[in-house]
Amino acid sequence: MSPSGKRIAEIVGAFAGAKVAVVGDFMADVYLHAAPARLSREAPVMVANWEGETVIPGGAANAVHNLVALGALVYPVGIVGEDSAGIMLGEFFQESCHNTSGIIEQNEVATVSKMRVMVGEEGRSKQQVLRIDKEPAQQPSEKLGQDVFHRLMTILPDVDAVLFSDYGYGLVKGTWPRVLRAENPQVILTADSRYALGDFVGVDLVTPNHSEAEALLGSPVLTDEETKVAAHTLRERLGAKAVLITRGNRGMLLHDGEGDFLVAVSGAEDEVTDVSGAGDTVISVATLSLVAGSNALEAAHLANDAAGVVVTKPGAATVSPEELLGRALS
């Protein structure tokens, strides 16, 4: 059952001022825009004319971007390289975030960037034809990881929640939530981990997609029944209060110990423009909702509606409180 309009307004209204630390892999998403021109005489490939370039926060930085757009006071915790992508992210954090003492600028590890080549005729939606990833040659050293964790522990007393956004680049450790919980039992802990979700024991909420759940459990997670079994298994294995499995055009499934709740996809399939970064939006809105006093089911509904908004926009997008209310109350 969906929350009432009054309840939705109460929760979203409480987003402003919530203090959330985002710990994870900060990336830059680069979009190269071009228009098709002709076939090359050198090879059987298209020649496109360059039109412009856009750089936006990606990965864990997209979670930061979503939280900021919803009025939260954000504490990013992690590393950026001393390169052009790292400089861009550093400027974004300085301009947008409440506290940047958790950011370490370093030259040991390059900033992750994902370059997408978008091609289309003028007046039409551009399509992604190629993605080029720039990834570090090595994982962060143990000392660098310890330095990041020390900064996280320093700001822990000041925040309402810690959101872990782990894209698998070796910075975030699944053992960290247990230490944070012991230090501050009241803090809300949420986790989204691409490859190591099984290490994040004792958090309040995890938000894997069905593919990530399949990889972790080694069994299919497709039908409603399979998804329920997966959610029960994950909740028991992780000791989590709630598991929210996202399922693309099949919506979401929440298991919170009280029951299993199917949340239908928000919006129509023909509205979908780009699903990039939708998972960041889901965990950001769910985390903020829990800070605002919602229960897990209310958080799931609001996260689902937020995802329904951002997938109608190109690239890793954000949702405003007004857009979220408009979708949730429609």
- Residue 242 lies inside a defined structural domain of this protein: yes
- Residue 220 lies inside a defined structural domain of this protein: yes
What's the whole-model pTM score? 0.94
Q: What are phi and psi of 326, to 5 degrees?
A: -60, -40
Active site residues: 280
Burial label for 259, CB within 10 Å (0-12, 13-18, 19+), is: exposed
Between CA 301 and CA 309 the distance in angstroms is 13
- Residue 150 lies inside a defined structural domain of this protein: yes
152-198 pLDDT tens trace: 999 999 999 999 999 999 999 999 999 999 999 999 999 999 999 99
90-146 pLDDT tens trace: 999 999 999 999 999 999 999 999 999 999 998 788 899 999 999 998 999 999 999
257-278 pLDDT tens trace: 999 999 988 866 656 666 778 8
292-327 pLDDT tens trace: 999 999 999 999 999 999 988 877 789 999 999 999
Which CATH number do you get for residue 255? 3.40.1190.20
Q: Where are the alpha helices (DSSP H) in the chain?
A: 5-13, 60-69, 84-96, 142-155, 176-183, 210-217, 224-238, 278-291, 296-310, 321-328
Between CA 180 and CA 6 the distance in angstroms is 34
The number of folded domains in the chain is 1
- Residue 175 lies inside a defined structural domain of this protein: yes
Is the separation of the CB atoms in 292 and 285 below 8 Å? no
Q: Cα torsion at 175, 179, 205, 296 (round to 10°)?
A: 170
3-31 pLDDT tens trace: 899 999 999 999 999 999 999 999 999 99
- Residue 274 lies inside a defined structural domain of this protein: yes
- Residue 64 lies inside a defined structural domain of this protein: yes
Whole domain around residue 95: which residue ranges? 5-27+58-111+137-328
pLDDT at 2: 82
Give the length of the chain: 330
Q: What are phi and psi of 131, to 5 degrees?
A: -125, 130
Nearest Cα neighbor of 143 from 106, 168, 100, 174 is 106
Is the separation of the CB atoms in 29 and 62 below 8 Å? yes
pLDDT at 270: 57
Average pLDDT, rounded, for the chain = 94
Tell me the mean pLDDT in the region 71-86.
97
pLDDT at 93: 98
Assign residue 87 a region (left: φ > 0; alpha: ψ between -120 and 50; beta: otherwise): alpha
Is the separation of the CB atoms in 221 and 255 below 8 Å? no
Pairing mode, if any, of strands 19-24 and 103-106? unpaired
- Residue 306 lies inside a defined structural domain of this protein: yes
Helix, strand, or coil (residue 174):
coil
